[in-house]
Amino acid sequence: MILVVGEALVDVVQRPDGSTAQHAGGSPANVAVGLGRLGIDVTLVASLGDDRYGQLIRAHLDAHGVRLANQPVTRTASAIAHLGDDGSATYDFDIAWDPGRIDLPDGVTVVHTGSIGATLAPGAADVEDLVRRLAPSAIVTFDPNVRPTLIDDDREDAVARTERFITLADVVKVSVEDVAWLRPEEAPDDVACGWAEAGPAIVVLTRGAQGSTAFTRSGRVDAAAAPTRVVDTIGAGDSFMAGLITALHDEGLLKAAERPALRTIDRETLTRVTSFATRAAAWVVSRSGAQSPSREQLSP
């Protein structure tokens, strides 16, 4: 079972033409739904209220095979997503994150976290505690998915916590925008390569339309972005992350006992893995909102 920990919220999308739409979202929730759509056994630890937004998210998770371990709150979180003419999105958030100590579930083979759930105090400390307890027996995957508007006041703490998660992780997906915020004085490739040499087995640096690069101790694999018409970029990185986890799972590499094999992954396998993740991201950007693909929809 894959455990995903972090925020679930409603994206209130404001389009350039003035129209709006509401979608269930939140980076970890999107990853969980992406995994569920791809047939993976997944549970999401999140905080939802008994309000209209909470009901929308519950229905969305249930429809895509995601179990919910809810840490109840009074009001479900939301984000206003402002779309640019090129489909890119910026966000304003209404969220509090304080799940408290999270019970250690049985049967977890992989734990994924990132974004607000891994950086926003006080809940980020609870997530870090859970990951540390699970790391000896489960593969850890992480996507910083930095939200500067929420953490600029605590930038030093947020950067330090993010670096600790990267040290704990076996697989990291990070965007060039994330690296620019975390390490503004360094080249993104140098940062990702350094992380791979010092900690995770795989660090994938994504560049949007410019593709991605997967770094390991033995080298790098470049992957071009899949050609597609961009409607919006909401959920693109999350779909890439879900595809990355799924492809590594399909290769039999996401078990604690397989860490040595994960750390020595060969170029051919890594190419297959990143290709699958790239197709998943391309599917999402060609549609409005974070609409995750099924396996059939990703068939070559």
As a whole number of angstroms, the distance between CA 190 and CA 296 comes to 36
Please give, one letter per residue, the 3-state secondary structure of the chain. Answer: CEEEECCCEEEEEECCCCCEEEEEECHHHHHHHHHHHCCCCEEEEECCCCCHHHHHHHHHHHHCCEEEEECCCCCCCEEEEEECCCCCEEEEEECCCCCCCCCCCCCCCEEEEEHHHHCCCCHHHHHHHHHHHHCCCCEEEEECCCCHHHHHHHHHHHHHHHHHHHHHCCEEEEEHHHHHHHCCCCCHHHHHHHHHHHCCCEEEEECHHHCEEEEECCEEEEECCCCCCCCCCCCHHHHHHHHHHHHHHHCCCCCHHHHHHHHCCCHHHHHHHHHHHHHHHHHHHCCCCCCCCCCHHHCC
Domain boundaries, the chain: 2-290
The vertex-233 CA angle with 235 and 172, nearest 5°, equals 50
Burial of 230 (0-12, 13-18, 19+ CB in 10 A): middle
80 — pLDDT class (breaks 50, 70, 90):
confident
Q: Closest Cα partner for 16 from 89, 104, 109, 124?
A: 89
Which of the residue ranges 18-22, 140-144, 166-170, 243-247 would you say has the lowest mean pLDDT?
18-22
Which of the residue ranges 139-153, 161-175, 212-226, 251-265 would you say has the lowest mean pLDDT?
139-153
- Give me the mean pLDDT over the 188-217 stretch: 95
The pair of three-digit structure tokens given for residue 232, joined into one six-digit string = 């919006």
- Does the reported pTM lie above 0.85? yes
300 — pLDDT class (breaks 50, 70, 90):
low
Which of the residue ranges 85-94, 154-163, 178-187 would you say has the lowest mean pLDDT?
85-94
Distance set, CA 167 to CA 41, 80, 141, 170, 197 (Å): 26, 32, 11, 8, 11
What fold is seen in the domain 2-290?
A: UDP-N-acetylmuramoyl-L-alanine:D-glutamate ligase (3.40.1190)
Predicted confidence at residue 57, as pLDDT, reads 96
The pair of three-digit structure tokens given for residue 118, joined into one six-digit string = 């891994």
124 — pLDDT class (breaks 50, 70, 90):
very high
Q: Closest Cα partner for 141 from 225, 193, 203?
A: 203
* Cα Rg of the chain, angstroms: 17
If one counts every other C-beta atom within 10 angstroms of the C-beta of residue 207, the result is 16
- Give me the mean pLDDT over the 6-20 stretch: 86
